[in-house]
Amino acid sequence: MAFDLDMIKKVYDRYSTRVAAARKATGKHLTLTEKILYAHLSEGDAKQAFGRGVDYVDFAPDRVAMQDATAQMALLQFMQAGRPQVAVPSTVHCDHLIQAKIGATEDLSTAKDVNKEVYDFLASVSDKYGLGFWKPGAGIIHQVVLENYAFPGGMMIGTDSHTPNAGGLGMIAIGVGGADACDVMAGLPWELKFPKLIGVKLTGKLSGWTSAKDVILKVAGILTVKGGTGAIVEYFGEGARSLSATGKGTICNMGAEIGATTSIFGYDEKAADYLSGTKRADIAKLADAVAEHLTGDPEVYANPEQYFDQVIEINLTELEPHVNGPFTPDLAWPISKFATAVKENGWPVKLEVGLIGSCTNSSYEDITRSASIAKQAIDKHLTTKAEFTITPGSELVRYTVERDGYLGTFESMGGVVLANACGPCIGQWARHTDDPTRKNSIITSFNRNFAKRQDGNPNTHAFVASPEIVTAFAIAGDLTFNPLTDTLTNDKGEQVRFDEPVGIEMPIKGYAVEDAGYQAPAEDGSSVEVKVDPKSSRLQLLDPFSAWEGTDITGLKLLIKAKGKCTTDHISMAGPWLKFRGHLDNISNNMLIGAINYYNNTADSVKNELTGEYGPVPATQRDYKAHGIGSIVVGDENYGEGSSREHAAMEPRHLGVRAILVKSFARIHETNLKKQGMLGITFADSNDYDKIQEDDTIDITGLTTFAPGKQLTVVLHHKDGSTDSFQVNHTYNAQQIEWFKAGGALNIIRRQMAS
């Protein structure tokens, strides 16, 4: 598992020359984000791309990380690329496929059994191609990366939208689809549209009940789920320096919820402490030597308005704890206003479950702060009213907090410790409920709370808060309780109040672990065999997608006009479907089943234009495919928000959808569509969304002269014989147009590797 010190040295060696060149070329002081980006421009681009006016830029990331649910597809693609070994250090983490049901030990052993085929596949591919493999039980990708691989001033990509977690240690870490990971592992440059920069100045200092989580809950409220699109968020100021590295990780992690490309903090004492605490003092030493490059220039932070596209200031001293939700992570409520909001909106007051942990919030500090509340419940004779679960982020943290007695405290207050895995956060939760039709409330310290995400139940109102607030709420079992001001009645009938939580940033006795769960790859993997059973329901080798036919695309049926929020959870649901992530045809049976049909306000019920009948989306599309008829999906704003899962792009591609036409896209999803050779276009005038009728036959023209920046035309043939036509925009650059023409980026890589 050894981190690659030589690699880090090489990265740091580039800094002084690149930063000096960028200063000279732009004549400006630099933000931290620019320094890291410039230091990672791929050689070809390094000469011309300094400055922010540039569009798509090629980068050379230092690392790749993949979690099991996305790694399967990423590695199936990589296997087609024809390389003997990965070109950059890469790891696979088994965290998403473990279902939470009874408790850590039983659930982990069930998962090893149920997912054996997939784990064996991932382990053998890792062994063969030189990837580090983190076994089931080792922990959640982002926590394991923070503990082992993140380093200040580095750049990595990961096949998960919460990859930005590593920004807590000053790394530019970006969530991507598997096809992007495949490129980087194949040694190709990685392309990103040069981001806008949002600066967040933190003043003051946290105290009492307020924690790092509240910073991002507040930012989400300010920027909304779309506000960070195309931007990197850089945090700075005395308040930033006062936050622990893991607290910073929480903020960067949840930056995914505002659509940000990533978020980042500069290298500081807290980062150095965390590196030393996790046995990487030698990295801290290297970082100290280039420290001036691992933070923004002082002039930038003194006059941020001159250097960032947008600046937000938050005073940590005045910041209140927040609770966000339900159904969207940007509905932000300061705790003092939350009880009224619950009552006014008629949200279920009774809290049924509190869940802490996940990749967002399971640091030693989080656990100790929550345990300080749990301990008070015991000492003050309070009986916990709601169910309460704890998902540790890694075996390192789990082992350490168990050693230090904190897991025992949670168990004494009625908590259940789940496996070190995603579990309930991604719907891998066999929740016990007496009546799923009842409106009910849960609260988590996770990051997402879209409808049905945690337990598949549309009646569940999920809220997000810090782990200590979640713990207090779970004890109270009541969403109108304010732990800062209200009292609870204890078992003796007395009124008691919580004291403020107290935590410890890092274990006084140091982190400890018996078996962290890492497996190194073979030195020479050429003789390792990777087996995929052709009859498997869980794994399927990929067939290349077919190339563009060279003409305009005409005669398309409208598969669905999706109304309102359509996240990747609506397009390709997780939970029970995670088991098919390595089998494109099987997982395609969940395509868009969560999206709401504009014409009947119902999920998974669309009109089949061939029969006139309403039926499930996947079956309808399979019927069009069987008849050789293409279709189009129409959507609203921020289509594809949320996850990095490229299945949301591959499923429509596989089933014969030809284009996705929406008001706007979320970044990762838009790229995923392009990578798979799909046409992703946006309304030039979003009112044209209203022109689309259920029975339309649709043409897309202009494709024979498809060029960057040039609009395409959509023609609607309505059932009554009339037509409408309007312009649509796209963001394809020359390279991406080639992907479209070839039928997907992988077809091009395969061609290049073969020649």
The residues carrying an active-site annotation are: 95-96, 160, 448, 643, 645
Note whether 646 binds ligand MIC by CB under 6 A: no
Stretch that binds ligand SF4, among 8-16, 235-243, 422-430, 716-724 (CB under 6 A): 422-430
- Integer Cα distance of 374 and 413 in angstroms: 6
Three-class HEC string of 306-320: HCCCEEEEEECCCCC
State yes or no: residue 96 binds ligand MIC (CB under 6 A): yes
Residue 644 binds ligand MIC, judged by CB under 6 A:
yes
Considering only CA atoms, which of 426, 342, 429 is closest in space to residue 389? 429
Name which position in 293, 645, 675, 750 contacts ligand MIC (CB under 6 A).
645
Residue 643 is a binding residue for ligand MIC (CB under 6 A): yes
Q: In the range 101-160, which residues lie near ligand MIC by CB under 6 A?
A: 160
Regarding 335 and contact with ligand SF4 (CB under 6 A), the answer is: no
Cβ at position 656, least distance to ligand MIC in Å = 23
How far CA 751 is from CA of 80, 674, 740, 746, 748, in Å, comes to 10, 18, 15, 8, 5
Tell me if residue 22 falls in helix, strand or coil: helix
- Taking alpha carbons only, the member of 428, 662, 425 closest to residue 567 is 662
Determine if 651 is a binding residue for ligand MIC (CB under 6 A): no
Q: How far is the CB of 644 from ligand MIC (least distance, A)?
A: 4
Query: Which residue's CB is nearer to ligand SF4, number 172 or number 574?
Result: 574
Q: Which two three-digit tokens encode residue 7? A: 């690699």
Mask for 155-194, x = binds ligand MIC (CB under 6 A): -----xxx------------x-------------------
Out of ligand SF4, ligand MIC, none, what residue 644 binds, judged by CB under 5 to 8 A for its kind, is ligand MIC
358 binds, among ligand MIC, ligand SF4, none (CB under 5 to 8 A by kind): ligand SF4
Query: Could you give the CA distance from residue 686 to residue 663 in angstroms, rounded to a whole number?
Result: 6
Q: Give the DSSP letter of residue 282.
A: H
Under rule CB under 6 A, residue 172 binds ligand SF4: no
Beta strands in 29-89 (DSSP E): 56-59, 63-67
Among 71, 157, 260, 425, interactor with ligand SF4 by CB under 6 A: 425
At its nearest, how many Å lie between ligand SF4 and the CB of residue 97? 11
Residues near ligand MIC (CB under 6 A), total: 14
438 Cβ contact partners less than 8 Å away, ≥ 6 residues apart: 459
Q: Is residue 246 within the footprint of ligand SF4 (CB under 6 A)?
A: no
Strand partners for 158 = 65, 175
Angle between helices 617-626 and 647-655 (to 10 degrees): 40
Backbone angles phi and psi of 343, in degrees to 5: -65, -45
Tokens of residue 209, six digits? 């009940």
* In the complex, least distance from residue 448 CB atom to ligand SF4, rounded to whole angstroms: 6
Alpha helices for 323-384 (secondary structure H)? 335-345, 364-379
Beta strands in 205-307 (DSSP E): 231-236, 262-265
Please tell me the distance from the alpha carbon of residue 42 to that of residue 157, in angstroms, as a whole number: 14
Window 433-452: contact mask with ligand SF4 (x via CB under 6 A): -------------xx-----
Which of 160, 191, 214, 404 is close enough to bind ligand SF4 by CB under 6 A? Answer: 160
CA–CA distance, 326 with 349 (Å, rounded to integer): 13
Which residue spans within 60-128 are E strands per DSSP?
Answer: 63-67, 90-93
Picked from ligand SF4, ligand MIC, none, the partner binding residue 631 (CB below 5 to 8 A depending on kind) is none
Amino acid (one-letter) located at 469 = I
Question: Which listed range, 2-10, 211-219, 420-428, 723-731, lies at the site for ligand SF4 (CB under 6 A)?
Answer: 420-428
Minimum CB distance to ligand SF4, residue 224 (Å): 19
Answer yes or no whether residue 359 interacts with ligand SF4 by CB under 6 A: yes
Among 426, 571, 596, 662, binds ligand MIC (CB under 6 A): 426
Task: In angstroms, give the least distance from the CB of 709 to ligand SF4.
Answer: 35
Q: Does 251 bind ligand SF4 (CB under 6 A)?
A: no
Question: What own/partner pairs with CB < 8 Å and gap ≥ 24 does 81-85 have?
Answer: 81/182, 81/185, 81/186, 81/746, 81/749, 81/750, 81/753, 82/750, 82/753, 82/754, 83/129, 83/185, 83/186, 83/187, 83/753, 84/129, 84/525, 84/526, 85/129, 85/130, 85/525
Q: Least distance (Å) from ligand SF4 to the CB of residue 173?
A: 13
> Cα(344)–Cα(323) distance, rounded to whole angstroms?
15
Does the protein bind ligand SF4 through residue 68 (CB under 6 A)? no
Segment interacting with ligand SF4, rule: CB under 6 A, options 45-53, 110-118, 278-286, 418-426: 418-426
Interaction between residue 426 and ligand SF4 (CB under 6 A) = yes
Considering beta carbons, is residue 581 or 607 the nearer one to ligand MIC? 581
642 binds, options ligand MIC, ligand SF4, none, Cβ within 5 to 8 A by partner type: ligand MIC
Structure tokens given for 743:
């039928």
* Of 135, 94, 44, 143, the residue nearest 518 (C-alpha): 135
Residues interacting with ligand SF4, by CB under 6 A?
A: 96, 140-141, 160, 162, 358-359, 422, 425-426, 446-447
Residues interacting with ligand MIC, by CB under 6 A?
A: 69-70, 96, 160-162, 175, 426, 448, 574, 642-645
